[in-house]
Structure 1
């Protein structure tokens, strides 16, 4: 867990406050955030961080939100992150959430045939140029539950800052412009 802003920076400045998380690995049984004995400790840490650096405008999740990338797990990811977002909203403005997928956020069975290292060198240019290439379709299929989840999240749970997204070439790849 990381937080943006220098610890000595006054909390009254109009900077952008962010909370960085990664490797949540939420399975069907949830995470430590959902266990009362750990949640209280995590909440105390988040209050301490807020008091030191100010409110969080954005939660950045750097991959591995789910354990195996299934649609069912993303239902639990929604519960976990919505609860976190709501808790942080009680401490200050409601933070927006930006997330990129990691290797646990894909459904491996959906990936189909993966490129072999020997053939990757010859297929790389075609992979990036042809959106209909079988390997590109396999990658997109593997990340479909994540993509559906993140689109729903942005539609249903916006934060206090304006976030404009421009999709990139691969699933989960984007450029974000944040206006506060």
Structure 2
């Protein structure tokens, strides 16, 4: 995994809120991409390639599969710019899900998550009535995440997924 010669240091690149697939997003990405990738490449030359790419929140815009194809393309470009073989560590954001109807029971439960002990316990205990709607909402993210997990396994990285997307141990 490590590009760092000194095993006591870890280099990372932090990306967030790319919102791939957002209306007008391709034009914005096209305008910013060259300068951003050139800067990433220069930093990697100055300091070394990152060991990790921390991709925290809002990779996609509406949480649909086509957007994750754009995420993959973007990550490929970033990896080419920084070199090495960084491990991608994604954490989904509020745009990485296909939103359920505002009046759905799962939305109501989530709105009371912090105030209602029983609701929290139901999510923590992975009760199917609560988890299945979340799995559907994060379906495209989850499919994309499966490839990331295979990459991790290929690199012999150990991890444990929990019931909620983005929760790792």
The reply to whether TM is greater than 0.5 is yes
Counterpart residue number, 2:121: 125
For structure 2, the 5+ residue unaligned runs are none
**Which whole-Å CA distance do the structure 2 matches of 1:151 and 1:75 have between them?**
13
Tell me, yes or no, if the aligned pair for 2:122 and 2:130 is still in contact at 8 Å: no
Counterpart residue number, 1:3: none
RMSD over aligned CA atoms reads 2.9
**Which whole-Å CA distance do the structure 2 matches of 1:138 and 1:126 have between them?**
13
| Range that drifts further, 52-61 or 12-21 | 12-21
Counterpart residue number, 2:141: 146
| Aligned counterpart for 1:53 among listed residues 19, 22, 47 | 47
| Aligned counterpart for 1:82 among listed residues 72, 76, 82 | 76
Tell me, yes or no, if the aligned pair for 1:66 and 1:105 is still in contact at 8 Å: yes
Counterpart residue number, 1:102: 93
| Count of matched residue positions in the alignment of Structure 1 and Structure 2 | 159
Q: Quick one: higher RCO (CA 8 Å, sep 6+), 1 or 2? A: 2
**Which whole-Å CA distance do the structure 1 matches of 2:41 and 2:143 have between them?**
32
For structure 1, the 5+ residue unaligned runs are 1-10, 176-180
Tell me, yes or no, if the aligned pair for 1:95 and 1:161 is still in contact at 8 Å: no
Is the strand fraction higher in 1 or 2? 1
- TM-score (norm. length: structure 2): 0.77
Indicate whether 1:115 and 2:108 are aligned.
yes
